[in-house]
Amino acid sequence: MKLKNLLKSLTLFAVLFSVSSCDTNTTRIGVLKFVNVPPLNDAYNGFVSVLEESDLKYKIDLKDANAEGALVSSSALTLVGESDLVLGIATPAASGLLAAREIKAKQIPILFTAVTDPVYSGLMDDKDHPDNLITGTSDMNPVREQIELFTKLGLNIKKIGMIYSSNETNSIIQKDLALAAANEFDLDFTFKTFSETSEISAVMDQLIEDGIEGLYTPTDSTLVSAYSAVYEKTKVARIPIIGGEEGMLDQGAVATLSINYFRLGQLTGEMAIDIINGKDISEMPVRYLDETPLILHLEHAEEIGLVFPTELLQEAETILGAEA
Amino acid sequence: MGQIIYNIFTNSLNLGLIYAVLGLGVFISFRILDIADLGTEGVFPLGGALTILLLTLDVPPIFVLFIVTIAGALMGLITSLLHTKLKIPSLLAGIITMVLCIPLAQLFNGLTTFSLGFDKPGGFVGSITLIGQKQTFYAFLVGFLGEWGYILTTFLAIIVIIGLLYWFFGTEIGISLRATGHNKIMAQAQSLNTDRRVILGLMLSNGLVALSGSLFSQFMRTSNSTFGQGTIVIALASILLGEAIFFFKNQHFALKLTSVFAGAFAYQLVINIAMRILNNNGYLKIVQAILFVLILCIPLVQKKLFNRRLKNTNKGVESHA
């Protein structure tokens, strides 16, 4: 039958394709990226940049799961089957790899990055003592310090709001932290969720009607993909946004304590090199970014009539959107 | 090299078998009842979310499968009642159920995190992982056979499902259900209550879809409310590819059911091979689209080539034109 012939020729193709890559000294690294968004791409690029600088012989196989269950599982099974080390970028990718490793009954190390809370997500039992050949880096942003920024803007903000996607486990963790921080700094806190990006405008209207004076946006890849819908509303209502990560400043946020995903990827790459060089994973606790520099955006602040206090400007490591 | 072919084969078998259950569910709505039920994309992750919740609460895996199937059937009941009683077009009725299912799945996920002591009740949670020590439906055979334990477990489940479906569609009510899908007006003329058959058929269909979601979640030990994305495409491709493979003698009903399983495996095989040739999964989507067109064209080509031999087969295909 024709179909059979097609399958045969495709198999042959695959075989020819893979013969060239068989080499025993090379470490085969499989990378599963959950979805194609800038933060995750940055993390991947950071990871690769560290490996490129090292003198290791390696070969990377990158698979993008397009946020689909079927692709997460078939990509994870493929990668685990033929790699010596695997990296999962974002939580669903990491848990897919974990399941695939169990299915294939292989003892290969798993690294993860861009996972907010690996214990909450069920990837491991103890962040400080990985006992299951899985460890990595967390993109937990300094939520408390970011909320504190509202009090430093010089606007006498009393009530803040937060918007996030109900699909993202990471955002829920950040919401709880933000709520605790808001209580600490005597701010009224209100939050609204959306399940589809088309709802963002309506949800933003509700938040603004509630009388929020500042908006906090967590590291939420669904939200990031439709950030302009948030910005349109806050610009009209003249409300400042504090972003969870650096990328949001280009899209309308006025300030953040930055999580640099490229740097996070580099951190993960360093861990990968340690593992390849034979370091024991149980001695490699989950790592966090140690520096979170303050970044401000002058143009976006100007648009809503915000003038940053001098001490904040002095504290800032980077100031974006200044007049040329 | 041998390792790669082995991996392609086992991966396709693992996922193909799980998606065969999905394909059988959609086969009932799409082929037997002639209804396009988009509720599938919501019922699949709902089944998965409920599974992880029940397993976390230490419900025995075999009961989990039953409970999840019943929950899926209830979702099918909603779709069918919207369609038959409120006269909402089936496509829209399915979409309504899908929209309803996704937050429900997130609520189940939220309950799971609550039961683990992480969260307050009533939270909507997108994705969760089953904690390590909980045993799934697969645990028993995997203990003896490793990776083949997964394959054998799903395979045995499929045999039971195909057997039950074959028996059911041979009973009086099953045959009347098939008659309803084949020609509704004729069935009504035979004084059949077609609404009741549609309700029953959609319940059965959605029950199987939820069961497939449950198997997938146990296999991957995760529940994610976005995991329904693309399931309807996988199911339809499996059905159509199966029909293309068994085109020459698909009169027999048991063979029709088996062809869904063969199609699901073949589809996963093609996807898995394509995934290796194309390093970027972005291209895979384009390949999937082209593949879909090709699969849809197969009946037409076959008709042209084997016109005489096929006069009475592929009736289903014709009735959709």
- Residue A19: the pLDDT is 45
* Domain membership of residue A84 as a residue range: 2-139+260-283
φ, ψ of residue B122 in degrees (nearest 5): 85, 5
Tens of pLDDT along B289-303? Answer: 888 888 888 878 877
**Same domain? A244 vs A264:** no
> How far, CA to CA in Å, does B173 sit from each of B178, B198, B205, B311?
9, 11, 15, 28
Percent of chain B with pLDDT over 70: 92
Residue with tokens 């002058």: A298
- Residue A23: the pLDDT is 52
**Same domain? A25 vs A108:** yes
Tens of pLDDT along B73-100? Answer: 999 999 999 999 999 999 999 999 999 9
- Residue B320: the pLDDT is 38
* Residue of chain A whose Cα is closest to the Cα of B14: A74
- Residue B247: the pLDDT is 72
Closest partner residue to B103 (CB to CB) among A63, A96, A195 is A195
**Same domain? A116 vs A17:** yes
Domain membership of residue A243 (yes or no) is yes
φ, ψ of residue A255 in degrees (nearest 5): -155, 155
**Same domain? A253 vs A270:** no
**Same domain? A13 vs A110:** yes
Domain membership of residue A288 (yes or no) is no
Contact A256, A219 (CB under 8 A): no
Any B CB within 8 A of A60 CB = no
Name every chain A residue with its beta carbon within 8 A of the beta carbon of B137: none
CA–CA gap between residue A206 and residue B97 (Å, rounded) = 26
Tens of pLDDT along B158-193? Answer: 999 999 999 999 999 998 888 888 888 888 888 788
**Same domain? A50 vs A170:** no
DSSP A281: G
CA–CA gap between residue B153 and residue B146 (Å, rounded) = 11
Mean pLDDT in consecutive groups of 10 residues from the start of chain A, 324 residues: 56 50 74 88 94 90 85 90 92 91 90 89 87 90 90 88 84 88 92 87 92 91 86 90 88 88 94 92 91 89 88 87 66
Any B CB within 8 A of A95 CB = yes
Residues B277, B280, B285, CA angle at the centre, nearest 5°? 90
C-alpha gyration radius of chain B = 20
Question: Where are any strands of DSSP class E within B63-182?
Answer: 127-129
Give, for B69, the enclosing helix (H) or strand (E): helix B61-84
Contact A104, B147 (CB under 8 A): yes
Q: What is the domain-level CATH number for residue A191?
A: 3.40.50.2300
Name every chain B residue with its beta carbon within 8 A of the beta carbon of A64: 280-282
Contact A117, A90 (CB under 8 A): no
Closest-CA residue to A273 (of A111, A128, A117)? A111
Domain membership of residue A21 (yes or no) is yes
Any B CB within 8 A of A221 CB = no
DSSP A287: B
Tens of pLDDT along A206-260? Answer: 999 999 999 999 988 788 888 989 998 998 899 999 998 888 888 889 999 888 8
**Same domain? A219 vs A270:** no
> How far, CA to CA in Å, does B56 sit from each of A184, B124, B147, B310?
34, 17, 23, 51
CA–CA gap between residue A23 and residue A120 (Å, rounded) = 38
Pick among 1.10.1330, 1.10.3470, 3.40.1710, 1.10.15: CATH of B2-277: 1.10.3470
- Residue B309: the pLDDT is 55
**Same domain? A12 vs A106:** yes
Residue with tokens 């990377």: A60
Domain membership of residue A87 (yes or no) is yes
**Same domain? A208 vs A100:** no
CA–CA gap between residue B207 and residue B25 (Å, rounded) = 7
Domain count across chain A: 2
Domain membership of residue A180 (yes or no) is yes
- pTM (2 decimals)? 0.81
Closest partner residue to A18 (CB to CB) among B1, B132, B281 is B1
Contact A130, A284 (CB under 8 A): yes
**Same domain? A10 vs A99:** yes
CA distance A186 to chain B (A): 23
Domain membership of residue A205 (yes or no) is yes
Closest-CA residue to A98 (of A68, A130, A66)? A130
CA distance A163 to chain B (A): 14
* Arithmetic mean of pLDDT, B34-39: 91
Q: ipTM score here?
A: 0.81
The DSSP bridge partners found for residue A112 are: A88, A136
Closest partner residue to A64 (CB to CB) among B102, B216, B281 is B281
Contact B237, B15 (CB under 8 A): no
Domain membership of residue A236 (yes or no) is yes
User: Residue B315: pLDDT band by 50, 70, 90 thresholds?
Assistant: very low
Residue with tokens 């072919």: B5
Which token pair is B246?
Answer: 């068994």
Q: How far is CA A10 from the centre of its chain?
A: 36
**Same domain? A159 vs A305:** yes
Closest partner residue to A17 (CB to CB) among B14, B124, B276 is B276
Closest-CA residue to A118 (of A270, A244, A275, A284)? A284
**More confident call, B312 vs A174:** A174
- Residue A173: the pLDDT is 83
What is the longest distance spanned by two Cα atoms in chain A?
76
Q: Are strands A159-165 and A214-217 parallel, antiparallel or unpaired?
A: parallel
Contact B276, B4 (CB under 8 A): yes
**Same domain? A195 vs A82:** no
CA–CA gap between residue B202 and residue B82 (Å, rounded) = 12
SS3 content of chain B, % helix, strand, coil (to 5): 75, 0, 20
Contact A28, A106 (CB under 8 A): no
